[in-house]
Amino acid sequence: MRSIFLHLHPVKVSESALKLDRTFGLGGMAAILIVIQIFTGIMLRFYYVPSPASAYDSIVYLKEHVLFGPFIRNIHYWSGVFLLLIAFLHFLRVFFTGAYRGVRKINWLFGLFLLLLIVFSNFTGYLLPWDQLAYWAITVSTNIIGYLPLGGTALHEMIVGGKELNAGTLQNFFTFHTALFPLLLLTLVIYHFWRVRKAGGVFLPQKSEKDEMVPVMPNLVFREFIVALLLLAVLFTSAALFDAPLLEKANPAYSMNPTKAPWYFAGVQELLMHFHPFFAAFLIPLAVIIFLAWIPFMKFGQEHNGHWFISDLGKQSSTVTALFAVLVTLSGILFNAWVVNFEILIPGIPAIISNGIIPLIILTVFMMGFYLFYLKKLALTKAEFVQAVFVFIIAAFIVLTLTGIFFRGKDMELSFPWKI
């Protein structure tokens, strides 16, 4: 056992690396959840039948006739949800502590790819129950692919296996979810951890004096063990108290209202409510992914000091930028829903202009105004400015996602749990 731990960690680690606020144990928790996903998925495979005629009934049989069947399914469901949230938080932690530069920049790309892989692993598993919720959520999500320019329609039909979900779609998703994605995840996570080890472990703040080195056992291993126990306690409690969703069997002739994409694509679906599909489904997501991938290759002129948010000024600018992003995003949502829709206001011009170029220009003007009247006056370094842009993107995406999940009701109209 000692040899196994020493393959994962060096013999000694810096005492500063043991502090909880350096990593919060997020990377380790994500790895544990991936292993749990694989093992519970293997157990579910013994009963699941990947065909439209039998998929739903096999889930019902698992729930009603298999000992601990519902509990295992709940663990699999909630571990998938927690994995996506924890991987996202780990992604934020790596960025805000600057652990993406120098020898770590390639690992940043692998981490970004792993995050996308986790999203699509959840996405392919979402369809497998073949109930109304899964069927129509995946229908909405796959229809977004058709908005891509040039080969969007052909790509949609290739993934779906036709114009609408069918037996081929379910078989494809089952294969991706239970074979290809788990193999890729396990392989890349091992490689990801290896590159962290090769880069010297946790990226620590620069200090004038050298930290004391302490044995990894029991100092680090004990802390990891406690974090793992807490994670399992939360996961098992959630699985015991909250069942994985399952509505009535999928009925292609009866659409749900509202029909929503899975919660992790709710932000993109919400974006489609305000922008032309070319912008919402292709241009904006592509620009964000390119920006995130490009960040570690920018020339900042100085190394990151390893402190959270770089500096006090970086923390201040990030806080104000986040508030600005929330205000602008909420204002845009409410303005578009209750005040004016540019497609109606300016009839007779192409939708790509009224619902694409015009809103994008307005958003750009607001962002430039914020830069000129606030960020420019702070005299931020390039790293602090890039951090502010990153914060704006993340905050806006979170607002769009929460709006799509909680505040879209019948016919996807804005709906509030309280009266205004």
Per residue in 339-354, pLDDT tens? Answer: 666 555 566 678 788 7
Cα(402)–Cα(404) distance, integer angstroms: 5
Least confident of 153-167, 320-334, 350-364, 372-386: 350-364
Whether residues 356 and 232 share a domain: the answer is no
Count of the separate structural domains present in the chain:
2
Whether residues 209 and 105 share a domain: the answer is yes
Tokens 């120098």 correspond to what residue? 102
Whether residues 353 and 216 share a domain: the answer is no
Query: Among 234, 253, 272, where does a domain finish?
Result: 253
Whether residues 292 and 237 share a domain: the answer is no
Tokens 């590159």 correspond to what residue? 195
Whether residues 333 and 211 share a domain: the answer is no
Which H helix or E strand runs over 285? helix 284-294
Query: Among 253, 278, 297, where does a domain finish?
Result: 253
- In the chain, the N- to C-terminal Cα span, in Å, equals 60
Whether residues 247 and 262 share a domain: the answer is no
CA angle 357, 362, 367 (to 5 degrees): 120
Q: What would the mean pLDDT of 258-275 be, rounded to a whole number? A: 93
Whether residues 233 and 314 share a domain: the answer is no
Per residue in 144-175, pLDDT tens? Answer: 888 888 788 898 888 888 889 999 999 999 99
pLDDT at residue 366 is higher than 80: yes
Whether residues 224 and 286 share a domain: the answer is no
Before 218, cis peptide (omega within 30)? yes
- pTM value? 0.93
pLDDT at residue 370 is higher than 50: yes
Identify how many contiguous H helices and E strands the chain contains and give both numbers. Answer: 19, 2
Whether residues 64 and 123 share a domain: the answer is yes
Burial (CB < 10 A; 0-12, 13-18, 19+), residue 75, is buried
pLDDT bin (cut points 50, 70, 90) of residue 38 is very high
Q: What is the pLDDT of residue 343?
A: 56
pLDDT at residue 5 is higher than 90: no
Whether residues 263 and 406 share a domain: the answer is yes
Cα distances (angstroms) measured from residue 347 to each of 340, 355, 362: 12, 11, 18
Q: Which residues are CB-contacts of 155 (< 8 A; sequence separation ≥ 6)? A: 145, 146, 148
Whether residues 246 and 261 share a domain: the answer is no
Per residue in 174-199, pLDDT tens? Answer: 999 999 999 999 999 999 998 998 88
pLDDT bin (cut points 50, 70, 90) of residue 208 is very low
Domain that holds residue 182: 1-253
Cα(324)–Cα(212) distance, integer angstroms: 42
Whether residues 140 and 153 share a domain: the answer is yes
Closest CA to 30 of 197, 179, 262, 231: 231
Per residue in 90-108, pLDDT tens? Answer: 999 999 999 998 889 999 9
pLDDT at residue 25 is higher than 80: yes
Q: What would the mean pLDDT of 117-123 be, rounded to a whole number? A: 97
Query: Among 213, 238, 253, where does a domain finish?
Result: 253
Read off the CATH number of the domain in which 135 is found. 1.20.810.10
